[in-house]
Amino acid sequence: MLDILFVRPNAKNKNYGVLDDFHLTAIEPPLWPAMLAAYCRSNGKSVDIIDAEAEGFNPDVLAYNIKELNPKIVVITVCGHNPSASTQSMVGVKELIALFPMNRQFKVVLHGLHPSALPMESKIETGADYVIIGEGFDIIPLFVEPPLQTNGGLVLSKMLIDLATLPQPAWDLLPIHRYRTHNWHCFGRMDKRQGYGVVYTSLGCPNNCSFCVIHVMTNNQRKVRFRPLELVLQDLDFWVSNGVDNIRFIDENFTINNKHTISICRAIKERYEDSLNIWAYASPTTITSKLLDAMRGAGIKWVGIGFESADLTEKGKNWEETVNIASMELKMADININANWIFGLPEDNWFTMQRTLHLAQMVNSEWANFYSAMAYPGSALYTEALKNGWALPDNWGGYSQYSKDTLPLPTKYLQAKEVLGFRDYAFNAYYGNPLYQTLIAKKFGEETKKAIEYMLTINLR
């Protein structure tokens, strides 16, 4: 009998809608199930992982496979490509648990950002036996041999301080050749998207952005823990030895500590030269020319960066100048920019949203994500929305940016539908801009430009 089965349900089609039909989205290896499975295995437990998203399993097939493996404990990790992708994953969680028999022999445990943010609500609405609040390393092995002391089925987990104590994630339990990277990550080589690995070099974030939920996994502690260099290289060696060169450093902010980042980049350059296609997140306030040179030398060809809004007062004064300097430095380092922008923050109006779009077009990054502001459970915006009585989605799928149920926040001056309408207008205005398309054709070739033009023909429902 298997001790612990880790599961990532599949709600991809509901969350991405028509975009999933055209393979515009990525399928990323799930870091948390892999980390937790490895930790439990190192503590003598028998473990396995089912990634229903990668396998393409619907809830019925997934439920059948769970029954066949006969686990004692099923840990459902509610995770996604980024912190904002957790809540909408609850759609797949609810569908799956509803298929479990009432007299099931295994216990169901929920883990992840959304359950940590709304633990009791998650337990009640899904019928799970337990909900973990936090990372779960110290708790999950204990479920195998009860009794475990809980508070009505809720279990508080301590934050793990020393990442050196964690074994390599259990990548061997995942269908590693089923993962594919984002379309933009392979601009200029669009036929090379299959094969995608993730590596973490740190956990945690020191910032406290109003729209982010990352701190619910660490009991609202803003501590960053760094992973030893040899363990980072061990992960890279695994992916490369399996023929994978598309890599994401999955840290919340890969550039938060220049010394740490530069040491990793120098080691990667020495080991792999410029053979990898890596992307990582960075903050505009933490990058330097020396750091970017080291990153580019290591094969980091893309940086995802939170430019957010032209009027982002919570990031400090002169934010627009910060954005322009950061984008200039990235271009000088020959690193492609994946810029993230948000429309519909509480103070936004037509004029400020147009300013943000104008800034995005001035930056003219190689890729841009346009989001509507969402009050994700666990964020300061969620607390503010409840306090002010702002309308929130009536189902978890409404927190997906691209589903037909999506419902962003209103602002002090605009309705939710107006924010959403502007978001979609901005997408088409940006990618249809001749200056942008000229950039893409010049840097990546006509085939990539045609892919952008084809993308513009697909309308969200």
Structural element, H or E, at residue 440: helix 434-444
The DSSP element (H or E) to which 424 belongs, if any, is helix 416-431
Whether residue 336 sits in one domain with residue 220: yes
Residues 69 and 187 in one domain: no
For residue 351, the surrounding DSSP H or E stretch is helix 350-363
pLDDT computed for residue 220 by the predictor: 86
pLDDT tens digit string along 125-180? 999 999 999 999 999 999 998 778 788 999 999 999 999 999 999 999 999 999 99
pLDDT band at 19 (very low <50, low <70, confident <90, very high): low
Candidates 434, 369, 432, 422; CA nearest to 184 is 369
* 198 and 136 housed in the same domain: no
- One-letter amino acid identity for 179? Y
Same domain? For 390 and 354 the reply is yes
Does 411 have pLDDT greater than 60? yes
Asked if 40 contacts 33 with a C-beta cutoff of 8 angstroms, the reply is no
Q: Tell me, what DSSP letter sits at residue 227?
A: -
Opening angle at CA 41, ends 39 and 43, nearest 5: 75
Judge whether 21 lies within some domain. yes
Same domain, 215 and 144: no
In this structure, are 307 and 340 located in the same domain? yes
Is pLDDT above 80 for 210? yes
Q: Say which residue the tokens 């300061």 belong to.
A: 380
Q: Examine the domain organization and report whether 278 and 388 are in the same domain.
A: yes
Domain shared by 363 and 284, yes or no: yes
Domain membership of residue 165 (yes or no) is no
Is 236 in the same domain as 375?
yes
By three-state DSSP, how is residue 277 classified? strand
Written as one string, the DSSP assignment of 105-171 is SSEEEEEEHHHHHSHHHHHHHH--SEEEES--TTTGGGGGS-----BTTEEE-PPP--GGGSPPP-G
What is the predicted pLDDT for the residue at 316? 57
Grade residue 208 by pLDDT with cuts at 50, 70 and 90. Answer: confident
pLDDT of 22 over the 80 cut: no
Does a structural domain hold residue 238? yes
Q: Is residue 171 part of a domain?
A: no
Percentage of residues in the chain having pLDDT higher than 70: 95
pLDDT at 461: 76
> How far is the C-alpha of 99 from the C-alpha of 72, rounded, in Å?
17
Tell me how far apart the alpha carbons of residues 300 and 143 are, in angstroms, rounded to a whole number. Answer: 40
Closest CA to 257 of 218, 235, 231, 283: 283
Q: What is the pLDDT of residue 402?
A: 87
pLDDT in tens, 414-438: 999 999 999 999 999 999 999 999 9
pLDDT at 410 over 80: yes
- pLDDT over 90 at 29, yes or no: yes
- Give the residue with greater pLDDT, 460 vs 27: 27
pLDDT tops 70 at residue 81: no
Largest CA distance in the chain: 64
246 and 384 fall within a common domain: yes
Mean pLDDT of the chain: 93
Cβ distance 109 to 148 under 8 Å?
no
CATH number reported for the structural domain that contains residue 357 in this entry: 3.80.30.20
* 338 has a pLDDT exceeding 90: yes
- Based on the domain organization, do 197 and 254 belong to the same domain? yes
How many domains is the chain partitioned into structurally?
Answer: 2
pLDDT, residue 313, reads 59
The dihedral over CA atoms of 37, 41, 45, 50, expressed in degrees to the nearest 10, equals: 30
What DSSP element (H or E) covers 67? helix 59-69
Least-confidence region, from 165-169, 186-190, 220-224: 220-224
In the predicted model, is pLDDT for residue 230 greater than 60? Answer: yes
In one-letter notation, the amino acid at residue 227 is R
User: Mean per-residue pLDDT for 379-386?
Assistant: 94
pLDDT at site 15: 61
Say if residues 14 and 403 touch (Cβ distance below 8 Å).
Answer: yes
Distances 269 to 149, 186, 391 between C-alpha atoms, Å: 48, 20, 50
Q: Give yes or no for a contact between 37 and 77, defined as CB atoms under 8 angstroms apart.
A: no
Is 315 a residue whose pLDDT tops 80?
no
The domain containing residue 236 runs over which residues?
A: 180-455
With a CB cutoff of 8 Å and minimum separation 6, the contacts of 414 are: 344, 348, 349, 350
pLDDT confidence tier of residue 318, bands split at 50, 70 and 90: confident
Burial of residue 269 (CB within 10 Å: 0-12, 13-18, 19+) is middle
Predicted pLDDT of residue 1: 84
The pLDDT-based confidence of 356 (bands split at 50, 70, 90) is: very high
Is position 98 within any domain?
yes
pLDDT for residue 14 = 62
